[in-house]
Chains A and B, each alone.
Chain A
Amino acid sequence: MAIKVLGLVDCFNNPNFGPMTRHRAIASTSFLGRYAFIDFVLSNFLNSKIPSIGVLCQHHIRSLSRHVGSGRTWITNTKIGDFHVLYDEPNIANSSYNTDVADLIENRWFLKQVNPDYVVISSPHVVFQEDFSQLLADHIASKSRISLLYAHVTGLKSSFINARKVYISDRGKVTKFEINRGETDEGDVSLGTMIMDYPMLENLIEYASGTSSFFSLADALNYVSPSVLIRAVKHNGYVRSFDSLKHYLKYSLELLDESVYNTLFKENWPIYTKTYDTPPTLYKPGALVKNSTIANGSIIEGTVINSIVGRDVKVHKGVVIKNSVIGSGAVIDVNTHIENAIVDKEAQVLHVSEVIGTLDDPLYIARGDIV
């Protein structure tokens, strides 16, 4: 019989985008106009033929549930597969106690119900494409208890801050974890994605909860790393840790470059998302659009350059949008100039003629606001 695999999306301790993530998790934050970040990890699971998925939810369950719904979009066989958003209700108002470990303990029924042979754990804010079916086969063949995905990154002084750097022995084992404070620019960094057998996960949970009620899985991993062999597996190709509003804008716009885009989007690796049944995009006679992605349902009468426009956005005549991300349902009234800005969902830019930030400090207009 085939091995049983459970995919877990760990939404705990994800970074934040400041005001943009006040009412939502990064997992359910809009990305590239038509996705939410969680779509990438969920599609990695689905495309890797992982039949069951649990989403470990730290907070903002409304936003997360609204996006994933029943989860059927990311499940192949809806009887054999299982999808649940796992939420630690007793600890929700007690943030120190609200950890992924406590969430797994609270929702142990789900682990027992799926009763997997192996578990793949991945974080939604780190975006990459990876075929876990191959990684799983390699993991099993290696007879390791834990495999950890890492990437060799240049730019650690300004990215992957607070992520865990990993030091790897000649034999490919993790020897040490270290929080990245940006001291060196180049190094190996954990992507927060692990493969382990289910008893190992139970051991980690037990170890973590027995050591400290505040421990996360990552803390536990750090503590057991001297005694458990953690196999380091290098990820090659596109990877970005979306960890700030500035990086949200920068990395989003970077994907407008086809040579970058093609390292994330692969043939036969569809990214599944919630459908909104919006009509296609309408470009009016006065539209001028260059190097941009526009999601369905939008009506464009103005100029859009180097930007990402979400669903059902209205860009009126005389508008110029540059280097910006416009959220779904936003309205940009006539002759407005928007540059280096993030206009959140359903915001309306009606009364100001300029909304201009910088790439390092993008101007943010909150969801539903009228300016």
Chain B
Amino acid sequence: MKEEMVAMILAGGRGTRLKSLTSKIAKPAVFFGGKYRIIDFVLSNVANSGINCVGVATQYESTVLNNYIGTGASWGLNGTGALTSILPPRETPDGASWYLGTADAIYQNIDWLDKTHCEYVVILSGDHIYKMDYSDMLKFHKKNGADVTIACIDVPLEEASRFGIIVADKEHKIQEFQEKPKNPKSTLASMGIYIFTYKLLRDALIKDHNAEKTDHDFGKNILPYLLNNGRSLYAYPFTGYWKDVGTIKSLWESNMDLLDSDCLLHLFSKDFKIYSADTCSRPQYISPSAEVKDSIINQGAVVKGKVIHSIVSNEAVIEPGAEIVNSFIMPGAVIKKDVKVNYAIVGSKTVVSNDKIGKDEDIILVND
């Protein structure tokens, strides 16, 4: 095969800050938005960008995630000439090792990348909510004659210290990296999306693998190394919606963002669909006793109580008298009669029999 650009998705992380939501499944497989799993966004982006070849590096609690990705059929990435490969760590004649970092996860799959004969690789995270056409980013990469292009987004100054910050000149050429800086010199945050010219990436990964002191991490090792060696790195400015849903709070916020009619994600737009595995659910049913306002409800849900400013997933049941406000209810959860749930995330198949009231600044996770 011969592909101009292939995608590598890093989906092996544990996501400990999502607490018990990731006790049995990897973060990219966590439910989102009523009908999705988080990884649907990046895989749909790949498909919508015209990329036909994608590798997904999985490691932590990967069974559900691997089954979910399957052949890539849910995103159309299984047609003739397309390739979706699940890439867990494996034993080789040289021994076996877990993925030791983001860079190592790609290094261990150099043989896979070689076989695609690609010119460019786009490295992606499996746990971000956004829509992006990577082919536009590739055009930018080629136009600048860049070695590496990093997608970045403008963040509020007060939040900049939580991100990897990029300092770039007017021509978008990167001058400096600041990892979670106390005094940020810029408000451009790295989105963890990189386009590499493959030859250069290959060399850098091998050097990193052989280095004595390294965390095998793109942000900490590979990118600073290339910058310090005079390579041309460019910052690709992205202006749409982007959210790292790594915490209970950010996962909740990102779900609530879907209810904001000004939300730049444009989930309901038809020309850049987010694909997902179909759940063969029944039609959703809103009963005579139900009240649903300012909410998103997925097929298969049964609503007999009140749902205000919330997200209710497939096969979730809201019993009569129950009141769901400002909450995200995952698939198959049951909110029993007269139970009040506010500012909460209710995990998949969890049965809630008592009131669960969180606060805006303290979202509670209800997950059995």
Q: Which residues of B contact A280 (CB under 8 A)?
A: 33-35, 296-299, 311
Chain A residues closer than 8 Å to B274, beta-carbon distance: 277, 279
The list of the 5 closest CB pairs from A to B, nearest first, reads: A275-B278, A293-B283, A280-B34, A280-B298, A285-B294
Known A-B contacts A280-B297, A295-B299; A289 and B285 likewise in contact (beta carbons under 8 Å): no
Interface of A toward B, CB cutoff 8 Å: 32-35, 256, 258, 261, 265, 270-273, 275, 277, 279-297, 299, 308, 312
Smallest CB separation, A127 vs chain B (Å): 14
Chain A, Cβ-Cβ closest to B280: A270
User: Is the CB–CB distance between A295 and B297 below 8 Å?
Assistant: no
Assess whether B287 is in contact with A33, with CB atoms less than 8 Å apart: no
Q: Is the CB–CB distance between A294 and B284 below 8 Å? A: yes
Per the bound structure, the CA–CA distance linking A268 and B288 in Å amounts to 26
- Besides A281-B298, A294-B286, 15 other CB < 8 A contacts? A34-B283, A270-B280, A271-B282, A273-B280, A275-B278, A277-B274, A279-B267, A281-B299, A284-B293, A285-B294, A289-B290, A290-B286, A291-B286, A296-B298, A312-B270
Instruction: Report whether A281 and B282 are in contact in the complex, using a CB–CB cutoff of 8 Å.
Output: no
| Cα-based distance from A312 to B280 in the complex (angstroms) | 18
CA distance A308 to B286 in the complex (A): 10
- How many angstroms from the CA of A318 to the CA of B187 in the assembled complex? 44
The distance in angstroms between the C-alpha atoms of A287 and B291, with both chains bound, is 9
Q: A32 — which chain B residues lie within 8 A by C-beta?
A: 283
Give A261 to B286 CA distance when docked, in angstroms. 13
- Set of chain B residues within 8 Å of A273, measured between Cβ atoms: 280
From B34, B278, B285, give the contact of A293 (CB < 8 A): B285
**A291 CA to B228 CA, complexed, in Å:** 64
Distance (Å) between the CB of A346 and the closest chain B CB? 13
Main secondary structure of the interface of B (DSSP, over half): loop
Contact B286 A279, beta carbon cutoff 8 Å: no
Kindly list chain A residues whose C-beta atoms are within 8 Å of the C-beta of B273: 277
Closest B residue to A308 using CB positions: B283
Q: Is A287 a contact of B293 with CB atoms below 8 Å?
A: yes
Question: What is the distance, in angstroms, from B346's C-beta to the closest C-beta of chain A?
Answer: 16
CB within 8 Å of A: which of B38-68?
A: none
Closest A residue to B274 using CB positions: A279
A282 close to B268 (CB less than 8 A): yes
Beta-carbon nearest neighbor of A282 in chain B = B296
Q: Which B residues are CB-close (under 8 A) to A297? A: 268
A residues in contact with B276, CB < 8 Å: 277
Task: Please provide the chain B residues from 10 to 54 with a CB less than 8 Å away from any CB of chain A in the complex.
Answer: 33-35
Is B234 interfacial (CB-CB < 8 Å)? no
* Complex contacts, B294 vs chain A, CB 8 Å: 283-285, 287
User: B287 touching A296 by the CB < 8 A rule?
Assistant: no
Q: Are the C-beta atoms of B34 and A289 separated by less than 8 Å?
A: no
- A351–B290 CA distance with the chains assembled, in angstroms: 31
B295 within 8 A of A: yes
In Å, the complex CA distance between A52 and B292 comes to 42
In the complex, which residue of chain B has the Cβ closest to the Cβ of A296? Answer: B299
Enumerate chain B residues within 8 angstroms of A293, measured Cβ to Cβ: 283-286
Distance (Å) between the CB of B164 and the closest chain A CB?
A: 31
- A285 and B282 CA atoms in complex are apart in Å by 25
Partner of B293, one of A275, A285, A299: A285
- Chain A residues with Cβ below 8 Å from B296 are 279-283
The docked-state distance in angstroms from the alpha carbon of A265 to that of B268 is 29
Nearest Cβ distance between residue B24 and chain A, in whole angstroms? Answer: 23
B275: interface (CB < 8 Å) = yes
Nearest residue, chain B, Cβ from A304: B286
Q: With A283-B293, A296-B35 as given contacts, are A291 and B288 in contact (CB-CB < 8 Å)?
A: yes
A-B contact pairs, 6 of them (CB 8 A): A280-B296, A290-B287, A291-B287, A293-B285, A295-B299, A312-B270
Q: How far is the CA of A290 from the CA of B311 in the complex (A)?
A: 18
Question: Which chain A residues border B35 with CB–CB below 8 Å?
Answer: 279-280, 296
In chain A, what residue has the closest Cβ to B33? A280
CB-CB nearest in chain A for B276: A277
Min CB gap A282→B, angstroms:
6
Closest to A305 in B: B288
Q: Is the CB of B278 within 8 A of A281?
A: no
Closest to A285 in B: B294
Residues on B with C-beta less than 8 A from A287 are 292-294
| B275 contact set on A, CB distance < 8 A | 277
CB of A289 within 8 A of CB of B286, answer yes
Q: Which of A258, A281, A282 contacts B284 (CB 8 A)?
A: A281
Q: Is the CB of A258 within 8 A of B299?
A: no
